[in-house]
Amino acid sequence: MKLSIFKKIVFVLFSTGLISSCTEQYVFQNQNFNEALVVEATLTNEMKYQEVKLSRTISINDSLGSTEVGATVSIIDNNGTEFNFDEGESKYVSQNEFKAEPNKEYQLKIITASGKIYLSNKEKLTTESTIDLETSVIDKEGEKGVQINVKSSDPTNTSKFYRYEYEETYKIKTIFEIVKPNTSICYSTYYSKEIIQTNTNDRSTDQVNYPIRFIGRSDYKLTNRYTILVTQYVQNRAAYEYYSTLKKMSETGNLLSLNQPGFAIGNIKSVTNPPEKVVGFFDVASVSKKRIFFNHTDLFPTEQPANYFMNCKAILVSNTTNSFGYNILKTHVILGTDYKGTYVVEKECADCTTFASNIKPSFWID
C-alpha cells in the first residue's frame, strides 16, 4: 500500500517558528497534546472522484493514527454548490465526479461524528501548466546514468510554484524458471517518498527544467523496460511554503520519524474549538501528468545492463525432507531434481510473484 507523504510528516521535530505567506501565517509548533485531526485534501482540475483522507493521531507514540470515521465531508464553492463525500475504506470519496474550475473559490468543510466543525480557508485553482519529460545521459557524482527532467512553460508567468510526485514501474524477468506458471515475468512499482518542489519566483520567465530522477546505468530497473509517470501540482504561495517547511524538517531527503513531538498547522481551523490544532492543508491545484517509457538499449546501446538485482546461484540439497531441507525451502524454491539430489534457488531468483505483481499494468506498453 502506498503510504502518503502526509502520513510520514504528521509528527516531526521542529522548534516553534513562523512562515509568512501572501495570505496567512502558517505556524509550526512543538507542544504536548492528546490528539490531532490530520487532513489530506487536494482538489484538482481533473474530472474525477475527488478524495479526502482524515485520520486522528491519538498520542505522541501513535505514528500512523487511526482513520477518522463517521465524518460528514463536503467542498463548497463560492456559488453555494456543495459537493458531498461518502465514507469509504480509509478515505472519503465525492459522490460525483467534479473538478476545480478557474475563478471559483472552494472551501473544505468537515463535521466529525462528535459534532465538531472544521473549515478551511477559501482557495482558488492555480494556473494550468502542461509538462513534458526529457531524458539525457549524464555523469553524476562519478556514476553514469539517465537523468529525467521535468520541463514546463507558463506564458502567463503566473504558475511559479510547483510540487511533484512520481511513480516508476519496471519489468522483471527472473534468472531461473520453475514449473509454477506466470512466475518469471513481473512488474514492480515504486512511488516517490519525499516532497519534491521547485519555483520560478525569482526568474523573469516561468519556465521549469527540473531534474526529478536520476538512475544509474547499472540499476536493474533499466534492464528490461522502464516507465515513469510524473505528476505536477501548481501550488499557490501558501501551499508551496507549507510543503517547503515540511521538507526542511527532513533529514537528507528522508522525512523524520513520526514519533517526534511536533506538528504543522495549515489552512484548516476548528470552528467549534478555535485553539485546537489541525494538521494538514486544503490545496486546490491544477495538475498535469506525463508518462514516458524507455529501454536500457535506448540510452546505452553499446553497454550491457545489469543481469539481475541480486546474485542468483542454484545450490544442491541432498535431502529436502530433513530439518535443513525443510528450513531452506522457506526461502528457496525447487528448480528440479536428479540422482544427486534437489536443486534450489532463492525465491526471488525464480518466482517474482514473491515480491512483485505478475499482472501487466493497464498502462504498460511493450
Residue 81: pLDDT band by 50, 70, 90 thresholds? very high
Report DSSP letters for 140-206, one per residue. Answer: ETTEEEEEEEEEEEETTS---EEEEEEEEEEEEE-SS--SSSS-SEEEEEEE--S-EEEE-TTSSSE
Total number of domains constituting the chain: 2
**Mean predicted lDDT score pLDDT of the chain:** 87
Give the structural domain span for 161: 131-231+293-299
Q: Which of 13-27, 233-247, 341-355 has the lowest mean pLDDT?
A: 13-27
Q: How far is CA 297 from the centre of its chain?
A: 28
pTM for this structure? 0.86
Question: What are the tens digits of pLDDT across the range 301-316?
Answer: 999 999 999 999 999 9
248 and 122 within one domain: yes
Q: pLDDT at position 36, please?
A: 85
Reply yes or no on whether the pLDDT at 26 is more than 60.
no
83 and 191 within one domain: no
Could you tell me if residue 363 is inside a domain?
A: no
Could you tell me if residue 203 is inside a domain?
A: yes
191 and 175 within one domain: yes
The number of residues in the chain equals 366
Question: Average pLDDT, stretch 141-150?
Answer: 97
Q: Are 213 and 169 in contact (CB under 8 A)?
A: no
Q: Which of 6-10, 155-159, 250-254 has the lowest mean pLDDT?
A: 250-254
Q: pLDDT at position 221, please?
A: 98
Reply yes or no on whether the pLDDT at 227 is more than 70.
yes
Could you tell me if residue 191 is inside a domain?
A: yes
Question: What CATH code is carried by the domain that includes residue 168?
Answer: 2.60.40
- Residue 239's H or E segment, with its range, is helix 237-248
- Strand ranges (E), 58-142: 66-67, 72-77, 82-87, 92-94, 105-111, 117-120, 123-124, 131-140
Q: CA torsion angle for 353, 359, 365, 366 (degrees, to 10)?
A: 50
Could you tell me if residue 358 is inside a domain?
A: no
Could you tell me if residue 16 is inside a domain?
A: yes
Reply yes or no on whether the pLDDT at 33 is more than 80.
no
104 and 162 within one domain: no
**Burial zone of 83 (CB within 10 Å; 0-12 exposed, 13-18 middle, 19+ buried):** middle
Q: Are 199 and 237 in contact (CB under 8 A)?
A: no
104 and 32 within one domain: yes
Q: pLDDT at position 16, please?
A: 32
Q: Which of 14-23, 288-297, 308-317, 351-360 has the lowest mean pLDDT?
A: 14-23
Cα–Cα separations (whole angstroms), residue 327 to 91, 242, 330, 355 = 41, 51, 5, 20
Reply yes or no on whether the pLDDT at 259 is more than 50.
no
Q: Which residue has the cell 492528546?
A: 34
- Residue 43's H or E segment, with its range, is strand 36-44
